[in-house]
Structure 1
Amino acid sequence: MFAAQAEEAAEEKLAGNAPLAVRMRPRTLEEVLGQEHLLGKGAPLRRLVEGGSAASVLLYGPPGTGKTTLANLVSTATNRRFVALSALSAGVKEVRAVIAEAKNRLGRSGESTVLFIDEVHRFSKTQQDALLGAVEDRVVLLVAATTENPFFSVVSPLLSRSLVLQLHSLTDADVSDLLERARTEERGLGGALRITEEALEHLVRLASGDARRALTALEAAADAASALGAEAIELSTVESTVDKAALRYDRDGDQHYDVISAFIKSIRGSDVDATMHYLARMIEAGEDPRFIARRLVVHASEDIGMADPTALQSAVAAAHAVAFIGMPEGRLALAEAAVHLATAPKSNATITAIDAALADVRAGKAGMVPAHLRDGHYSGAGSLGHGQGYRYPHDTPDGVLAQQYPPDELVGVDYYHPTTHGVERGLAERVPKLRRVVRDQAR
């Protein structure tokens, strides 16, 4: 009896010394913040936690979104044995040992085992293959977590035997609720300290949707405030403990628009250093990297265009890289594209051309397509004169010949006026020559 009491007291002491992020781990589905798309009524993860599904799952999402928590809830809510392995330290031997023990338990008592594997993308193909039989026969219920796209990092047979569920970063409102819950609940800080609005907002920004990061920063700030004998966690305390100054940046307000405006204008003005500064401000403030990437793609066409056609390729590649690898590594692709765009020769000739053409079309300048350019492939097209008299440019040595392409109303109208910047310098010489061949000899 005394031994049991001593063991219980020791467990309570260990729990009290656990990090805040561990103490605040949700104990029920109702305590989980975010992931409504997976936890709503009838949603796959809710059915799994409540015992309504026996499918193995791959939880894919950024750090601090609740992958380990949800794995724990799957085991506790369905009275299954829970075994956790990390792909950083476990090998095939450890995996097979867990499977063997799970098979024995299932045969002896009917008790199922939830096998949680963190960082499963770090498992080799051989290690992943070792799971296949046990997953298919439901000897174990596999709950695997990964921060990388499982369709690129997990073997196809394991993918086909599992549900892939994507978790999203917590919203700012979710993080704010979590921090307030941690500050007031007994298992957290117990309401011992207040927190100023500025300090709370800064913690939310620092978290960037990561619950663990938010709670770790709050705990550090609370420890510092208590050491100073303060009654509240101030902004200055948060700044000193996490070693990051608060940025004046509102992702929904004027700072958002002012900084992105300055970023684009710095690129347009070819100031690569100012470009890096504003990019850093947006990244540090937690701006959506996809938003930054989209603006780079737009700018590559709008302000650089044919002066450097590879600028658009760089911007699009950066957008794909951000979507593929996420942050913080995605900052490198964004920076590379931003440097390329800032140092590239500039031309707005493309946007000027398309906008001028659109203005004419909207003004009603859209005459009939010349008969020789119309589709002549269908039956009866020839009797209408469609496609008749069309001259094939590749039949000439230069690949260019005299022929009318625009409607009659627009013959001789110039929309594209290339500059002499960068690659477009060659076009500034070539386009007039092409126009003379196509137009002058066609008349």
Structure 2
Amino acid sequence: MEPDLFTAAAEDRQEKDPSSSPLAVRMRPRILDEVVGQQHLLKPGSPLRRLVGEGSGGPAGASSVILWGPPGTGKTTLAYVVSKATNKRFVELSAITAGVKEVRAVIEGARRATGGFGKETVLFLDEIHRFSKAQQDSLLPAVENRWVTLIAATTENPYFSIISPLLSRSLLLTLEPLTDDDLRALLRRALAEERGLGGAVTLPEDAEAHLLRIAGGDARRALTALEAAAGAALAKHEADITLETVEETVDRAAVKYDRDGDQHYDVASALIKSIRGSDVDAALHYLARMIEAGEDPRFIARRLMISASEDIGLADPTALPTAVAAAQAVAMIGFPEAALTLSHATIALALAPKSNAATLAISAAQEDVRKGLAGPVPAHLRDGHYKGAAKLGHAQGYVYPHDVQGGIAAQQYAPDAVRDRHYYTPTRYGAEARYADVVERVRERLGRAGGEEPAEGAS
């Protein structure tokens, strides 16, 4: 039996008895105008609108579409809406469980449906990044010959995870995480509409806020939690879905954390100060609070990158690369897996040796500049590549350090106003101890030993 027959049977069951399907399925948009969020893709005349034949430009020319975005942002929904709007068969496969054999069966079924009934097919392939290069290659004939309209979904960067021939033949659409306002509208629609909960229960503000927190921008997770909480409330003959009911059904306590208020900044501040204080357990506690509250993982990753330079610096030169790698990974994978990456980085930073020498150094240098301690660049350091530079004395007398034994040329680099200022005072912690020895020797070679330290509190 072909996979599309299962899909057709499921759709038939849903039409006859909508309550047999999960709430997330029942609330799936039927037209583009019902899609929540992704407004950048839904503007009049957009490629997505053209794909379904809307607008004066006619259908988009691409025979393949790649939807890239975090889980729960509507990739399956958009594929389903496209098939409905274009009156095409909808066949769904997952790259986790399907292989080349299943793909070929769908393609062959699509060719027969087109030739025998004139019915074209939308093949929705979820998690396409799980397919190997050879498996992705097997899709090319169907895409090139337009035997199917391929709509592939991925949570990973398609430029790294999808083969170039397929990518070049596809319309790439990037989906963004749903906002709280998007999810709030979706929850309220599900509560009110007949295909949803039909007004059987109400959702007080505190319970709604908790559902939004645990959803983490994932529409499917939000509707699944709402359905479970509504079922529990109705079983208790309650008209309201209370916060306690939501907590019971999702097995998660309401996190006292307001992403738009003081708690947002208090918890973020506590995370950084715990890392600074090397208390790895406290840092993990605050990280967990931010994650459970539905904080944007990119915000957390940015704070960790700042911490790596502000509080660790050269005491552990691997701290910043670790934080940057975490930020890049978080942007690619999203929650829930991003929690592992953030934990990895937080633990590494908390247990790293600490130094704020880099922070104090740039602060002191900036303070001197603000005070007007600048002055002209020494003539021998100025640009000498243009005609007439030599007549002005620019770049004359400059000593190329690579031509000097030891690679350090004893010449003036700083302007006169700050030539004796020492901004960087390395600590003796971790790897920075090596830099402390190096900077001392370099200053001696440059004739700058015993220079003037910025006034205390200058930063």
Aligned to 1:92: 100
Bigger Cα displacement from structure 2, 94-103 vs 10-19: 10-19
1:424–1:221 Cα change, 3 Å: same
Q: Are the structure 2 counterparts of residues 10 and 305 from structure 1 closer, same or farther at C-alpha, using a change threshold of 3 Å?
A: closer
Match of 2:446 among 434, 438, 441: 438
SS for the counterpart of 1:412 is coil
**One-letter amino acid of the counterpart of residue 251, structure 1:** R
Distance (whole Å) between structure 1 residues aligned to residue 93 and residue 438 of structure 2? 65
- Corresponding position of 1:53: 60
Within 1, Cα distance between the matches of 2:261 and 2:401? 54
Q: Which of 385, 388, 412 is the aligned partner of 1:380?
A: 388
Q: Does 1:418 align with 2:421?
A: no
1:274 matches 2:277: no
**Structure 1 position 172 matched with structure 2 position 180:** yes
In terms of mean alpha carbon deviation, does 302-311 or 200-209 score higher?
302-311
Alignment correspondent of 2:3: none
- How big is the shift at 1:10? 6.7
Q: 2:29 aligns with which of 26, 29, 38?
A: 26
C-alpha displacement at 1:440, in angstroms?
5.8
Report the CA distance shift for 1:431/1:277 in structure 2 as closer, same or farther (over 3 A). Answer: same
Q: SS where residue 432 of structure 1 aligns?
A: helix
State the shift of 1:432 in Å: 2.9
For structure 2, the residue ranges without an aligned partner over 5 or more in a row are 1-10, 452-459
* Higher mean displacement: 273-282 or 418-427: 418-427
Q: In the alignment, what sits opposite 1:15?
A: 18
8 Å Cα contact 1:402/1:440 also seen in 2: no
Is residue 2:328 matched to residue 1:320?
A: yes
Q: Deviations over 1:107-137 (max 9, x none)?
A: 3443322222222222333332222122112
Seen in structure 2, the aligned counterparts of structure 1 residues 9 and 307 have a Cα distance that, compared at 3 Å, is: closer
User: Could you say which residue in structure 2 is the equivalent of 1:249?
Assistant: 257
- Structure 1, unaligned runs of 5 or more: 1-7
Structure 1 position 72, deviation (Å): 1.6
The Cα offsets for residues 21-49 of structure 1, whole Å up to 9 and x where unpaired, read as: 11111122221111111111111112212
The 3 A distance-change label for structure 1 pair 358 and 137 is same
Tell me the number of residue pairs that the alignment of Structure 1 and Structure 2 aligns. 436
Paired residues for 1:196-235 under 5 Å: 196-235=204-243
Determine the C-alpha separation between the residues in 1 that align with 2:162 and 2:17.
Answer: 36
The offset of 1:401, in angstroms, is 4.1
Which residue is 1:42 aligned to?
45
Deviation (angstroms), 1:9:
10
Identical columns (%): 65
Residues 1:138 and 2:141 aligned together: no
Relative distance call for 1:153 and 1:411 in structure 2 (3 A) is closer
Q: Whole-Å Cα distance in 2 between the matches of residues 307 and 65 of structure 1?
A: 41
Match of 2:344? 336
Counterpart check, 1:299 vs 2:307 = yes
Whole-angstrom CA distance in 2 between matches of 1:284 and 1:11: 34
Q: Report how far residue 241 of structure 1 moved.
A: 0.6
Aligned-residue offset at 1:54: 4.7
* 1:348 Cα deviation from its structure 2 partner: 1.6
Q: C-alpha offsets along residues 317-376 of structure 1, whole Å, 9 cap, x if unaligned?
A: 111111122222222222222122212222222121111111222222211222222223
Cα drift, residue 11 of structure 1: 5.9
Cα displacement string for residues 209-232 of structure 1 (whole angstroms, at most 9, x for unaligned residues): 111111111111111111112121
> Distance in 1 between the 2:265 and 2:359 partners?
22
Letter of the aligned partner of 1:231 in structure 2? A
The residue number in structure 2 matching 1:150 is 158
Question: Matched residue of 1:213: which SS?
Answer: helix
Query: Aligned in 2, Cα 1:240/1:412: closer, same or farther, shift over 3 Å?
Result: same
Matched, 1:102 2:105: no
Q: For each residue in 1:185-244, what CA deviation from the matched residue of structure 2 results, as whole angstroms up to 9, or x when unmatched? A: 111111111221111110111111111111111111111111112121100000011101
Instruction: Look up the equivalent residue of 2:44 and give its one-letter code.
Output: K
The answer to which of 142-151 and 17-26 deviates more is 142-151
Distance 2:14 2:287 in 1: 48
Residues of 1 paired with 2:418 and 2:154: CA distance?
58
Structure-1-length-normalised TM-score: 0.92
- What amino acid is aligned across from residue 208 of structure 2 in structure 1? L
What secondary structure is seen at the aligned counterpart in 2 of 1:364? coil
Compared CA separation, residues 252 and 127, structure 1 to 2 (3 A): same
Does the 8 Å contact 1:307/1:422 carry over to 2? yes
* TM-aligned CA distance change 1:96 to 1:430, over 3 Å: closer
Find the residue that maps to 1:345 and give its secondary structure.
coil
The verdict on how the C-alpha distance between 1:50 and 1:359 changes in structure 2, with shifts beyond 3 A counting, is same
Which residue is equivalent to 2:410? 402
Q: Is the 8 A contact 1:85 1:118 kept in 2?
A: yes
Q: 1:404 to 1:213 in 2, by over 3 A?
A: same
- CA shift in 2, pair 1:293/1:88, >3 Å: closer
SS of 2:422's partner is: coil
Cα 1:10/1:40, change in 2 over 3 Å: closer
Equivalence for 1:68 = 76
Say yes or no: does 1:360 pair with 2:363: no
Displacement of 1:272 = 1.3
The one-letter code sitting in structure 2 at the alignment partner of 1:50 is G
Query: What does residue 348 of structure 1 align with?
Result: 356
Cα pair distance change 1:352/1:186, threshold 3 Å: same
Q: Is the CA contact (8 Å cut-off) linking 1:54 and 1:141 kept in structure 2?
A: no
State the SS of the aligned residue for 2:446: helix
Deviates more, 1:42-51 or 1:237-246: 42-51
Q: d(CA) in 1 for partners of 2:181 and 2:190?
A: 14
Query: Quick one: distance in 2 between partners of 1:83 and 1:203?
Result: 31
The separation in 1 between residues aligned to 2:326 and 2:413, in whole angstroms, is: 37
Tell me: CA distance 1:216–1:10, structure 2 relative to 1, closer, same or farther (3 Å).
Answer: closer
Shift of 1:89: 3.2
8 Å CA contact retained: 1:347, 1:419:
yes
